[in-house]
């Protein structure tokens, strides 16, 4: 089964914010991505508003609703974010731990230690019909504790796999993801994946871990779009999520 591609548009918002004004517009980029075959769109709204802002969340949620596409909102446990997710009835909310000052997300939730943080939020969201996911490291032994929070899905943090590409570590990192995915399904959850996935490493992941139903891809996709164009890039990532080998642009 192919992985459904959800395009993370944070980097479009970051580029807009670096200059001010409204260009490039995440909403326009979102339309292009959906027209090119993306299954859905993702935004991670951080408290510092360094890329995505609340008005972006509202606009992209409305677009996805119009198109019948999935909208995945990511973020930490702050109340304004949870309240916005409930107000907009997002398709999926992915809880992601945030460390102040981090450039990007670099670790998953630690369970059962952080159970009391996650479980009440999951309960609130699920009561409103919102699918929930938790961002986790590929640790198969932790999956029963993740399931105990009531979350519907995990999102496996795939940076260790991505950074091992072309090294002897690759086999071990892929094995960790495979075992984590299997353990998650055995515990009653579905499996998403994300972080540093690109045109080179996504096809192997899609072929090797059939439990993955959705991948959120942002940085590499937007970077590739600088060379290939956004619509062409999305089309290639859709194929990569099917496990097909696709040409990646030369970036160095």
Report the SS3 class of residue 13.
helix
CA 210 to chain centre: 17
What does each C-alpha distance from 206 to 9, 14, 70, 142, 189 come to in angstroms? Answer: 22, 29, 20, 23, 18
- Would you call 74 a catalytic residue per the annotation? yes
List the catalytic residue out of 44, 155, 159, 214: 44
- The whole-angstrom separation of Cα 39 and Cα 51 is 22
- Catalytically annotated residue among 51, 70, 74, 159: 74
Residue 29 CA, chain-centre distance (Å), reads 17
65 conformational bin, left if phi > 0, alpha if psi -120 to 50, beta if neither: alpha
What stretch of H or E contains 5? strand 4-8
| Active-site annotation holder among 51, 155, 173, 195 | 195
Q: Rounded CA gap, 143 and 11, in Å?
A: 31
Does residue 107 have an active-site annotation? Answer: no
Q: Cα separations (Å) of 151 from 8, 112, 184, 235?
A: 21, 13, 11, 31
Residue 244: active-site member:
no
**Positions marked active-site:** 44, 74, 195
């Amino acid at each position: 089964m192919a992985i459904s591609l959800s395009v993370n548009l944070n980097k479009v918002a970051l580029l807009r914010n670096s200059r001010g004004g409204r260009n490039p517009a995440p909403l326009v980029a979102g339309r292009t991505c959906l027209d090119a075959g993306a299954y859905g769109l993702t935004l991670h709204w951080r408290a510092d508003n360094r890329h995505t802002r609340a008005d972006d969340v509202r606009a992209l949620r409305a677009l996805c609703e119009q198109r019948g596409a999935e909208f995945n909102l990511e973020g930490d446990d702050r109340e304004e974010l949870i309240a916005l997710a409930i107000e907009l009835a997002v398709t999926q909310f992915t809880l992601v731990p945030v460390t102040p000052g981090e450039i990007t997300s670099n670790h998953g939730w630690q369970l059962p230690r952080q159970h009391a943080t996650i479980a009440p939020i999951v309960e609130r969201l699920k009561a409103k019909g919102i699918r929930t996911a938790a961002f986790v490291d590929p640790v198969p032994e932790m999956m029963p504790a993740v399931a105990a929070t009531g979350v519907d899905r995990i999102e496996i943090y795939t940076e260790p796999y991505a950074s091992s590409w072309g090294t002897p570590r690759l086999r071990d990192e892929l094995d960790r993801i495979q075992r984590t995915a299997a353990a998650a399904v055995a515990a009653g959850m579905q499996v998403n994946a994300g972080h540093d996935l690109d045109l080179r490493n996504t096809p192997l992941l899609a072929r090797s871990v059939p439990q993955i139903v959705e991948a959120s891809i942002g940085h590499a996709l937007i970077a590739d779009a600088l060379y290939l164009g956004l619509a062409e890039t999305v089309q290639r990532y859709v194929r990569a999520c099917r496990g097909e080998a696709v040409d990646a642009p030369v970036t160095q």
